[in-house]
Amino acid sequence: MQYALLIYGTEADIEDYSAETLDGYNAFTSHVRERGALKGGEALHPIATATTVRVRDGRTVTTDGPFAETKELLGGFYVVEATDLDEAIGYAALIPGAKTGSVEVRPIVDWADTGMGAPIDSASAV
Amino acid sequence: MGRHGDGRPDRLGQRRLTASDATTHEVVDRLFREEQGRAVATLIRVLGDFDLAEEAVQEAFITALETWPVRGIPANPGAWITTTARNRAIDRLRRRRRLVEKTAEIARETELEVTLEATLESIDPDESEDPMQIADDRLRLIFTCCHPALAVDARVALTLRTLGGLTTPEIARAFLVPEPTLAQRLVRAKKKIRDAGIPYRVPPADLLPERLDGVLQVLYLVFNEGYTASSGDALVRRDLSAEAIRLTRIVVALLPDEPEALGLLALMLLTDARREARTTADGALVLLDAQDRDRWDRGRIAEGETCIRRALEAARPGPYQVQAAIAAVHDEAATPADTDWAQIADLYRTLVRMTPTPVVQLNLAVAVAMSDGPAFGLAMMDGIAAIGELDAYPYLHAARGDLLRRLERWSEAETAYRRALGLTTNGPERTFLERRLTEVRARRGATGGNVA
């Protein structure tokens, strides 16, 4: 199964580019890559750069900022391959952000399992 | 009714059974409690599907009710149930597959189910009698049902439903939750197990301590809900406690090297031993020091003491072991006056170090009041009350009321009892507090002057 590991934290946590934090992320990335479990992942620019888009009555409404005002913001994510939730939790616990903020573990839908086609055929080409 | 019409064996040792036969129902009822968890556990291992497993096992029990009165009870009813449930699951898969074929669905699903069917057929009823295999299946299921990724209320409901064989209405009644809410809770939990990939296995050694805590917590919650009822049906509650003890026994049997599991079993047995003495015939609550100790279950106490002694030998103490030791000290006292309160206070001090919660501190204060005098206990309780975390906890106010009463501070005692009463919903506990309130009010009146 694949899991998204969504890393949440305060703005300060997310913008912490200290050498120690970066080393921690590099170590984690190498760890999952060496095990062949790394399927993807990105760091996101700070929340000040976020734009929220809604379409209402056919009109596109664009607003500054994240869609919800919360203290914990999404800072980045990994996608990993794991046999089960326990293994995914094990990976999540190794992410430096888990020590300051939190990591949400979300199973990724396997479209083959649902018997439906994937909504975008080219998604896997990314 | 004639001598042989009651379903008991007649002179020839044959059962005379009718469809409404009470004996068959008793056997099936008992078997359902004892065996359904095991049959479900085995089928879940093979199918990976809670619903299909539960439905198949339920059908097997219905079939038992229909056929046993006619054909007699099989020699090994447990194996019969597992085999029948397996066959029902195969039937269901075949039906489902025909449906899939008709609607010309993708072959993939069909393949999957053919594989499942083959695996199901491979369940050997004789092998399914292998105690190790049964034990493994059940233990796996307990850990799945109590996985920390599930909400605690969902863990409790799922454990009682799949392993305990309690029905959804029974669990709903026990926890005072509307039936649809509970049904929904179960559906969500099963969906999460499947979609989030919660494993069906006993956790590896590095995860075991953390996961075992979660399992023990669920079992303790179930026991407590059955022992200190927040309200409701006494019989259902007795069942809950019995179920918690039965499941804990399974965990202890399967993980004999875990002293906390043994400690929890000891705690349950030593507490449950006092159940009969805890209420009067009309349901009124009787506090520990007023209980008729002749009504305590000596067998349970002896078993509980053996368990706690064995647990302590491992020299890895934990909160359940300490609480069991406290219960044992109470149970050992022939009269309330013989209670070794100094030892109990020491044990609570140990417990406070392990789990420094205000409730444990309150219990320590009660023990100190008993060993050193009410004024010492009251000072500790006032400290706890000042923090405010237990404002809505009726037992804090009831315990303060009791110490104030013993210190003859009637007016303050009245206020404390009144607060406790305002927070208590349990019938027998309310009756008890009302009695105390009347008593301190009368004393306050009699001594005069001391009016708020």
Chain B environment of A112 (Cβ under 8 Å): 108
The mean predicted confidence, pLDDT, of chain B is: 83
Contact B197 A112 (CB under 8 A): no
> Rounded to an integer, what distance in angstroms lies between the CA atom of residue B44 and that of residue B41?
5
Greatest mean pLDDT among A6-10, B135-139, B170-174 lies in A6-10
Which among A1, A2, A28, A17 is positioned nearest to A98, based on CA atoms? A28
* Averaged pLDDT, B358-386: 95
> Rounded to an integer, what distance in angstroms lies between the CA atom of residue B212 and that of residue B202?
10
Confidence of residue B98 (pLDDT cuts 50, 70, 90): confident
Residue of A nearest to B211 (CA): A86
A86 → closest Cβ in B108, B195, B199? B199
Cβ atoms within 10 Å of B43's Cβ, excluding its own:
28
Q: Is the pLDDT of residue B381 over 80?
A: yes
Residues 32-71 in A contacting B (C-alpha not used; CB under 8 Å): none
Question: Higher confidence at residue B352 or residue B90?
Answer: B352
Q: Is the pTM of this model over 0.80?
A: no
Question: Higher confidence at residue B409 or residue B141?
Answer: B409
B207 touches chain A (CB under 8 A): yes
Chain B environment of A83 (Cβ under 8 Å): 197, 199
Provide the 8-state DSSP code for B194: H
Lowest-confidence segment of B93-102, B129-138, B334-343, B372-381 by average pLDDT: B129-138
Contact of B399 with B366, CB cutoff 8 Å:
yes
At B22 the pLDDT is 66
Beta strands (DSSP E) in A10-68 are 38-43, 51-56, 59-64
A116 touches chain B (CB under 8 A): no
Report the percent of chain B where pLDDT is more than 90.
Answer: 42
Helix (H) or strand (E) holding B113: helix B107-121
Query: How close A8 gets to chain B, by Cα (Å)?
Result: 18
What does residue B74 show for φ and ψ, rounded to 5 degrees? Answer: -65, 160
Residue of A nearest to B147 (CA): A86
* Averaged pLDDT, B24-29: 75
Chain B environment of A88 (Cβ under 8 Å): 197
B99 touches chain A (CB under 8 A): no
Contact A82 B203 (CB under 8 A): no
Lowest-confidence segment of B200-204, B280-284, B386-390, B413-417 by average pLDDT: B280-284
Q: ipTM score of the complex? A: 0.82
Chain B environment of A113 (Cβ under 8 Å): none
Contact A86 B195 (CB under 8 A): no
Please, what is the Cα angle at B107 between B103 and B112, to 5 degrees?
115
Chain A environment of B112 (Cβ under 8 Å): none
Chain A environment of B198 (Cβ under 8 Å): 84-86
Which among B375, B343, B338, B379 is positioned nearest to B361, based on CA atoms? B379
| Dihedral over alpha carbons B28, B33, B35, B41 (to 10 degrees) | 140
Chain B environment of A1 (Cβ under 8 Å): 197
* Averaged pLDDT, B341-356: 96
Lowest-confidence segment of A66-70, B351-355, B369-373 by average pLDDT: A66-70
* Averaged pLDDT, B99-104: 60
Contact B197 A115 (CB under 8 A): no
Residues 120-149 in B contacting A (C-alpha not used; CB under 8 Å): 147, 149
